[in-house]
Chains A and B, each alone.
Chain A
Amino acid sequence: MNTEVSESETEVAEPIRRSFLFAVSAAVMAFGLTAGYGMFAWLIGVFLYPFRESAESWQFLSDLGSFGVGHSLTYQSPAGQKIVVTRLADAGTVDDFIALSSVCPHLGCQVHWESNNARFFCPCHNGAFDKVGKPLSGPPKDSDQTLPQYALQIKNDLLFIEVPTTSLT
């Protein structure tokens, strides 16, 4: 078998081999850089992303028998939020009750009750809500945002509410 390679064949083969090796090494380098630094970027993202949800728990509110229709009670959560819970109906289900959050659904400020105007008012962007949390005016009215409600549940004729349990300071 003739293993000799002519001079002209060598001249062609060298640049092809060189450019092939260059392309392969460039691809390996690009993969290495992407994988290495990409992994590092992913790690930074995971490191910075919050690692726990906010703590909430179910707290006892009242027994159903002593909570009549039309009555309200003010409850203070372990984190300090004052929550007004009202009974609107007598069906004996959790839908009878409403526990309004004082966090404005627009951008998260605290609303307060204005007794002279019979409304909840948010001082940040002038949002207003009626006593059951329906929007009356301001940006929440424009986008039909009601005051959020705390989750309630009934167990063995006892009413429970789910509230935050940790305060900031």
Chain B
Amino acid sequence: MVTAVRNWFSERLPISGVQIAELTNEPVPNHLKRWWFCLGGTPAYLFVVQIVTGILLAFYYQPAPSTAYESIRTITHDVSYGWYIRSIHKWAATLMIAAVILHQMRIYFTGAYRKPRELNWMVGMCLLLCTLTIGFTGYSLVFEQLSYWGATVAANICDTVPFAGVFFKRLLLAGDSYNSQTLPRFFILHAAVLPAVMIGLLVVHVGILRLQGITEFRFENEPDDKPQTFNFFPDHFYTELTIGLILMILLSVLATVLPVDLGPKADPLTTPEVIKPEWWFYVSFRWLKLFSGTFAVVSSGFIVFVMFVWPFIDGWIRKHTRYTEASVWIGIVGVFLLVGLTVWEAIVEH
């Protein structure tokens, strides 16, 4: 009987256990036993959490200015475990952004973006921008004061961009200013367009990683005769499972101890006296306060562009100058700026 069932399946799915093992058992470099080298898998795991909890929330969420806030109130206060699912979604978003930033820092400071991995760095940059945008559109959906004014400011930032700015602002808002058709756009971007784009980018990101193999590092204290790799399955797979379990526990604790609540409902006629975006935009928010509108926006765009093409700039510096480790010092300055501006924005009212 068992043989008959096995034969039935093997005729229809002509792949053997050996072939599956060959596909999954890519040798993994030893350094991946250290957890901070597994930060790339963390946002991927959290992305799956976001898709599952996001689909659940979409059963109740109603994306219109007259209904959005009330539907979130219903999710938070009336639906069974609605507060838990919403809090998991919010905390997973926070952790996902933190993990993406940490993953990018790890890649940067270990030089894993260098030739021949420049293209994958650029795909990663696209994923970073998508993650930030999906985070932004996410908190815009709640239709509390922060959602409304955040969206207004973002649309006007688009407006400041030379040449195509007005076009993109109108496209984003579905009009000259926030109107009844704006929220459905944010919802479609958040729940359909961006996740689909991110899945595509993730496939390319992991595909390139598999084609090129993971960057190999050797640490100074490692003996030369130590095997340089270990098996993906089951060894590394178990590491990822463990990280997934720890994340689930962490998310559950955060959602229970610090559940997400609702701020005041959006009021298009009153900007609150103290208003700040989510923490991951503190840097840009402070930047916008420090410089005039056009300069702040154009300079931010320039910084993002430099980040995109950094592997090529770094390659040029290493080839044509004697400052072969310049990237480390530039990175340290960048991290100090990032942390400094974030902390500055966090501790002051205005």
Contact = CB atoms under 8 A, between A and B. Distances in A.
Looking at chain A's contact residues, the main secondary structure is: loop
A167 interface: yes
A123 B273 contact: yes
A3 B266 CA distance: 86
User: Size range of the interface on A?
Assistant: 20 to 34
Contacts of B149: 109, 124
A142 B291 contact: yes
A110 B179 contact: no
A65 interface: no
Interface string A102-140: 000011111110000000001111100000000000110
Given A143-B293, A168-B65, A168-B178, A108 B269 contact: no
A169 interface: yes
Contacts of A124: 149, 153, 271, 275
B155 interface: yes
User: Size range of the interface on B?
Assistant: 35 or more
Nearest to B167: A49
A107 B176 contact: no
Interface string B167-188: 0001101111111110000000
B171 A125 contact: no
Contacts of B179: 54, 166, 168
B19 interface: no
B288 interface: yes
B269 A139 contact: no
Interface of B: 65-66, 149, 152-153, 155-157, 160, 170-171, 173-181, 266, 268-275, 285, 288-289, 291-296, 350
Interface of A: 48-50, 52-54, 80-82, 106-112, 122-126, 138-139, 142-143, 145, 166-169
